[in-house]
Amino acid sequence: MNPIKIFWFYVTVGLMSIAFSIAYELYLEDILPFKFAKFSMLFEVPEKPEEKLIKELQKFVDADTLIIEETTQEDTARLRQILDSILAEEKKIIFPNDNHEHLWRIFRKAEKGKRIRILHYGDSQIEGERITAQIRNELQKLFGGRGPGLVPVIPVAPKLSVKTEYSDHWKRVPGFGKVDTTIKHGRFGPLIVYFESSPDSSQESWFSLKPNRYAYYRARRYDKAVFFWSIPEDTARIKIFVNDSLYHDSLYEHARLIIKELSIPPGATITFKHSGAPIHVYAISLENKSGKGVIMDNIPLRGSAGTIFTRQNKSFLKLFYDYLKPDLIVLQFGGNVIPYIEDEKRCKNYGRWFASQIRYLKSIAPEASFLVIGPADMATVIDGKLQTYPILECVINVLKEAALQNDAMFWNMYLNMGGSGTIIKWAEADTPLAAKDYVHFTIPGVKKVAQLLWEDILYEYNLYKQAKEEKSEGL
């Protein structure tokens, strides 16, 4: 075909399209059932989304600057309220699937006058009954109960509730930290440590327990003592004195576990004497013989990340749990891994490992509720500046996930303290709430953290009472 004819053909078609578009825009848009592009749109440059947004904002500014300022302030205030509300909820005890029965069933049992047992495991933050003692005292005031619960022969740190003395014949054998690799049996008991008298001792070994006069009143007014020990081989003689009076004297042959209960005068001094074959003492429980009220055991595992439970002899640990019948097991860990976790992958691996500990403990204490408490704020020097560990929030998040995915509650100590940088402020306050290691609390700091936790427990108890009252009224 002739190229000139082709050119004029396209020119003609183009002009006809333009003419139709003009006619459509002027006369035919409201008549024809079909929609076509308008002539005015053929020469428009598409507007970028951000340009459109700028123009819309400019309209508000041009219309009334005061209105846009007020609107922004209102929106900011509203956003702050939402964020504060979310933060407030995150500070409370968080329940898996929002199932508050994990705590409410304990309140219900306590109100019926039954015994409540709480095992509080944790790292060095709870040594010396820190946090535990204050929570225990509040619970015992509310629901009754006496005594500090499980205590060791040789405490790593002095106990607030009990003073302990012991002869040189005893040695501490832990199942966590620096473990003796020649010990393969894994039978360490509920404190994850046992105490052994020296095999070559020809004399009596002994230890004594008495109330600390600085302890909370209820903690030092125990009137029952329960002893847990084993005899690996041969025969041993056990004597138990209460306020210098002989209460028990007997020979025992080889036994995997012996549990001996004694009723004693309130707050008595107890002396345990042993001769013969070596024995392993696992714990002594000082409590209320009435069988009512709260017993809260303080079980510090210095240096532990809380991943040692699966290394214990399961059937042996279950013997103790079957006797103790814990209603609540508290796991307060995480701080000891933070200086050594360098990336998110390792952080998530720790979360998975911790989750396996919860499942393990649930398998031997199926009736217990579980509460995981995340680590406190911790600081270190990075690039010459003292600041919160960057990996801290990752560790908290994986512990929270491990708890909620395994039917356990979670309490965020870090957020309740105040979040990032709080440990620095606490350590440098006029009345320091934290030590200058920017990890551990001072005594005032311990009391503050315990109070924060207690307020959330009490908040939940008030919710429980409100729900019970509404149910009784048929609402």
* DSSP characters over 310-343: GGS-HHHHHHHHHHH--SEEEEE--TTTGGG--S
395 and 366 share a domain? yes
Count of the separate structural domains present in the chain: 4
22 and 57 share a domain? no
Compute the distance between CA of residue 441 and CA of residue 434 in angstroms, rounded to an integer: 4
267 and 411 share a domain? no
Per-residue CA distances from 312 to 11, 109, 322, 396 (Å): 90, 30, 16, 25
Per-residue CA distances from 143 to 68, 220, 452 (Å): 56, 17, 19
Q: What is the pLDDT along the chain (475 residues), one digit of tens a residue?
A: 565 655 556 556 565 655 555 454 444 444 444 444 444 444 444 444 444 444 544 444 444 444 445 556 666 666 666 666 666 778 899 999 999 999 999 999 999 999 999 999 999 999 999 999 999 999 999 999 999 999 999 999 888 899 999 999 899 999 998 888 888 899 999 999 999 997 666 688 999 999 999 899 999 999 999 999 999 989 999 999 999 899 999 999 999 999 999 999 999 999 999 999 999 999 999 999 998 999 999 999 999 999 999 999 999 999 999 999 999 999 999 999 999 998 999 999 999 999 999 999 999 999 999 999 999 999 999 999 999 999 999 999 999 999 999 999 999 999 999 999 999 999 999 999 999 999 999 999 999 999 999 999 999 999 999 998 887 776 5
Per-residue CA distances from 280 to 219, 222, 255, 424 (Å): 26, 24, 10, 43
Give the per-residue pLDDT at 39: 45
What angle, rounded to 10 degrees, do the helices at 132-143 and 443-472 form? 30
188 and 268 share a domain? yes
* 145-166 as b/e: b if 16+ CB within 10 A: bbbbbbbbbebbeebbbbbbeb
Residue 275 lies in a domain: yes
161 and 236 share a domain? yes
374 and 451 share a domain? yes
The pairing of strands 115-122 and 293-300 is parallel
Residue 206 lies in a domain: yes
171 and 274 share a domain? yes
The residue ranges of DSSP E strands in 4-90, in sequence order, are: none
Of residues 234, 281, 284, 227, the one with CA closest to residue 255: 234
Using a 10 angstrom Cβ sphere, with 0-12 exposed, 13-18 middle and 19 or more buried, the burial of residue 398 is: buried
Compute the distance between CA of residue 406 and CA of residue 370 in angstroms, rounded to an integer: 9
Instruction: At 384, list the tokens.
Output: 């010459």
Residue 298 lies in a domain: no
258 and 325 share a domain? no
355 and 267 share a domain? no
164 and 227 share a domain? yes
Compute the distance between CA of residue 297 and CA of residue 302 in angstroms, rounded to an integer: 16
| Terminal CA-CA length for the chain | 91
The enclosing domain of 327 has a CATH number of: 3.40.50.1110
Of residues 441, 354, 446, the one with CA closest to residue 400: 354
Per-residue CA distances from 250 to 3, 130, 197, 372 (Å): 123, 37, 17, 42
Give the per-residue pLDDT at 178: 84
Residue 132 lies in a domain: no
333 and 399 share a domain? yes
Residue 307 lies in a domain: yes
**The total number of residues written for the chain in this structure:** 475
Residue 54's H or E segment, with its range, is helix 49-63
Q: Is residue 131 within 8 Å of 274, Cβ to Cβ?
A: no
Q: Is residue 218 within 8 Å of 284, Cβ to Cβ?
A: no
Q: Is residue 368 within 8 Å of 326, Cβ to Cβ?
A: yes
Claim: this prediction has a pTM higher than 0.85: no
Of residues 258, 152, 290, the one with CA closest to residue 209: 152
Residue 23 lies in a domain: yes
Domain hosting 84: range is 49-91
Of residues 463, 366, 460, 456, the one with CA closest to residue 406: 366
Residue 139 lies in a domain: no
285 and 308 share a domain? no
Compute the distance between CA of residue 343 and CA of residue 433 in angstroms, rounded to an integer: 30
Residue 135 lies in a domain: no
